[in-house]
Amino acid sequence: MLKAIKQLLERNRYAIAASFTLLIIFLSLAPTSKAIDVIDVSDKTLHAFAYFVLALSWIFAIKSSHTLLKQKVSIGFFVLLLSILLEILQESLTDYRTADYLDIIANTLGIIFAIVSFKYLLRLYNTI
């Protein structure tokens, strides 16, 4: 069963990463929901986790052809640029969201953690 799931993930790795990207963009620009207020977790923790998942999904997507640190850092850089762009768009396009430099710091920490933990997570993934 796990091998079938792994094959499904491998075949759809770019679609999965693109889907996470679109989800982050939507959640960043949509009005906040009262449902989010029910979750008893810091906003910054959610930011760090979201960008950890986003960066990790793109690193996993390209892992078969780019496993060097340079490529992982490049992905991290582009994900960070997306993060900054979304904060700017929140401030300029919406009247219900505001930009926050602390969000960018939390996003950066999530991205760094994804880059650092990738080798370990890949080892776990390869045991399946």
Structure tokens at 123: 């080892």
What average pLDDT does the segment 19-30 reach? Answer: 94
What gap in Å lies between CA 106 and CA 110, rounded to an integer? 6
pLDDT tens-digit readout, 5-18 = 888 888 999 999 99
Q: Which residues of 26-47 are buried (b: 16+ CB within 10 A; e: fewer)?
A: eebeeeeeeeeeeeeeeebebb
111 within 8 A of 52, measured Cβ to Cβ: yes
Give the pLDDT confidence score for residue 103 in this predicted structure: 94
- pTM flag (> 0.85): yes
pLDDT tens-digit readout, 59-118 = 999 876 555 778 889 999 999 999 999 999 999 998 888 889 999 999 999 999 999 999
What gap in Å lies between CA 5 and CA 94, rounded to an integer? 39
Q: Where are the alpha helices (DSSP H) in 1-128?
A: 2-11, 13-29, 34-38, 43-62, 69-93, 101-126
